[in-house]
Amino acid sequence: MRQLSNVRHDKLAVVSLIVILLTLLCGFFAPFIAPHDPAEINMSLRYASPSWDYLLGNDHLGRCILSRILFGIQPSVLWVLLALGISVLIGAIVGFLSGYFGGKVDALLMRICDIMLSFPGYVMALAIIGVLGVGLENILIAFIVTKWAWFGRVIRTSVRQFAESDYVRYARAIGVGHGRIMLKHIVPVTFADIAVISSSSISSMILQISGFSFLGLGVQAPTAEWGMMLNEARSVMFTRPELLLAPGVAIIIIVMAFNFLSDSLQVALDPRSSGASIRKKKIQSFYNTGSRNEVAETK
């Protein structure tokens, strides 16, 4: 999309995108770039300080903290992105069917979404984890179950804005199929909303999976995960605060990067945001010009 070129001019967005891409690459290639086995126990290095062999030191079991940070990208970010993609896909299917066809289809699908959204997200996730048990797979299932209805409702609102447009009505009148109309005419104009809500949701999902793991409800030992690393370092947080620093900073950096990128995407892709910015500049220019004219007239 042409609007994406605007993101290149936002330095903060470019830096955020680089951070995200580097993080994803490190997660994909963690088995090859990690200096040590993240689950390797060496009690002789228990709470060892950083060294050339262990750049971030060792934890309470002598495991390499840097290696665990790199391997922790997979459950903390990569698998969360997969759950987000599935949630958005289900929500998009529901949203497009509901927003495009309307009528009874819209009423039925939105009532289902209303039922799903009537339960608080965290409570619903805890209930699913309680039924299925703790673990990464179950928490990802909980994310998908609790998120798709929200995506469906938001996407449906976006689709409804264009489903009755003149060009859509004309396409229907000349016999173009519903699937072709949605793919060719509605998906491109709703892509902005889908991209914005997806990028803004990933940060909260990363924090949620880290929070659940910190509480012992998510990823289980010995698998490396940032929230669980915080939980393991909690008992020595006053004597060994540096053990909290590495996973904590990792979570903060990746969440901030996604948040900054989301804001830039909203400005670049969302016509309403761009229009608001343009109107604001015009109003400011108008008042600035008016002020100069008033000064000139008084002189």
Q: Is the dihedral of CA 89, 91, 96, 101 positive or negative?
A: positive
Highest mean pLDDT among 23-37, 116-130, 263-277: 23-37
**105 pLDDT above the threshold of 80:** yes
Give the count of beta carbons closer than 10 Å to the beta carbon of residue 288.
Answer: 10
Q: Residue 80 has which token pair? A: 């969360």
How many structural domains is the chain composed of? 1
Q: What is the distance of C-alpha 265 from the center of its chain?
A: 12
- What's the pLDDT score for residue 2? 53
Q: What are phi and psi of 63, to 5 degrees?
A: -80, 150
Q: What are phi and psi of 91, to 5 degrees?
A: -60, -35
**Cβ neighbours for 237, distance < 8 A, ≥ 6 positions apart:** 243, 244
Q: What is the CATH number of the domain that holds 257?
A: 1.10.3720.10
Host domain of residue 244: 2-298
Tell me the pTM. 0.80
**290 pLDDT above the threshold of 80:** no
